[in-house]
């Protein structure tokens, strides 16, 4: 599916923990809002590469147990098989967008909170 939009604006205006913006056959674009002190949750995607860009906020990326400080305009590339987490260590909401290749979440998924995301077992049907 073709998608054309101002990704910075879409990311900064998003208040949902996770919102899928676009799903194509080989990639997926998702925006996220991580509350202060919150994290995405430690995970491993066995067959999915992931790109993350921080648009607003600060925190740390934990990749295979190594920590990296991240702030506005940082990018994180996570190869398939890498244990990873993104943690908001700041006092403001962290806003980011991420690209999964191939898609990870069910099309049009919206999770307003992390708790809602954890309770939902949705995944993209390959």
Q: What is the mean pLDDT of each run of 10 residues along the chain (126 residues)?
A: 96 98 97 98 96 98 98 98 98 98 89 88 62
The pLDDT value given to residue 117: 85
The pLDDT value given to residue 123: 63
Query: What residues does each domain of the chain span?
Result: 7-119
The pLDDT value given to residue 24: 95
The pLDDT value given to residue 106: 83
Q: Are strands 58-63 and 49-56 parallel, antiparallel or unpaired?
A: unpaired
Structurally, at CATH architecture level, domain 7-119 sits in: Sandwich (2.60)
Contact 83/64 with Cβ under 8 angstroms? yes
The pLDDT value given to residue 97: 98
Contact 30/50 with Cβ under 8 angstroms? no
The pLDDT value given to residue 51: 98
**What's the rounded Cα separation, in Å, for the pair 87 and 91?**
12
pTM confidence score: 0.93
């Amino acid at each position: 599916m073709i998608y054309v939009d101002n990704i910075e604006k879409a990311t900064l205006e998003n208040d949902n923990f996770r919102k899928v913006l676009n799903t194509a056959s080989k990639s997926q674009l998702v925006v996220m809002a991580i509350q202060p002190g919150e994290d995405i949750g430690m995970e491993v995607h066995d067959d999915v590469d992931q790109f993350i860009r921080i648009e607003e906020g600060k925190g740390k990326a934990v990749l295979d147990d190594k920590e990296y400080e991240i702030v506005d305009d940082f990018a994180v590339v996570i190869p398939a098989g890498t244990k990873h987490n993104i943690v908001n260590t700041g006092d403001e909401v962290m806003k980011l967008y991420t690209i999964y290749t191939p898609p990870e979440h069910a099309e049009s998924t919206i999770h307003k909170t992390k708790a809602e995301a954890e309770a939902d077992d949705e995944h993209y049907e390959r």
